[in-house]
Amino acid sequence: MNIYVGNLPYSATKEDLSALFAEFGEVGRASVVMDRETNRSKGFGFVEMPDDAAATAAIEALNNTELHGRALRINEARPREERPRTPRTPR
């Protein structure tokens, strides 16, 4: 199951996410989404867990818990919506 983790503190790393979710089972992959231009966290990430039961238990237990002072928003990730690409304007 792919899990969305929102309201992450900007200091959070993929290792933090892995450690947080590892209490509930095997973590296949964890990532924090980074801004391409600033290379700073965008404040959300994803965790993949191969066992759906463990993933569901993690979502229920960790939603609204705090990490580095911020209440996490955790739920099953929805498929990405296709959006039309807009050309970037040079700065």
At 28-65, the pLDDT tens digits run 999 999 999 999 999 999 999 999 999 999 999 999 99
Collapsing DSSP to helix, strand or coil, 13 comes out as: coil
What pLDDT score does 80 carry?
Answer: 75
Reduced DSSP (H G I as helix, E B as strand, rest coil) percent helix, strand, coil of the chain, to 5: 20, 30, 50
Q: Tell me the domains of the chain and their CATH numbers.
A: 2-76 (3.30.70.330)
The residue with tokens 């947080």 is 20
C-alpha pair distances (Å), 65 with each of 22, 73, 84? 15, 8, 35
Tens of pLDDT, residues 7-29:
999 999 999 999 999 999 999 99
Q: What is the pLDDT of residue 91?
A: 64
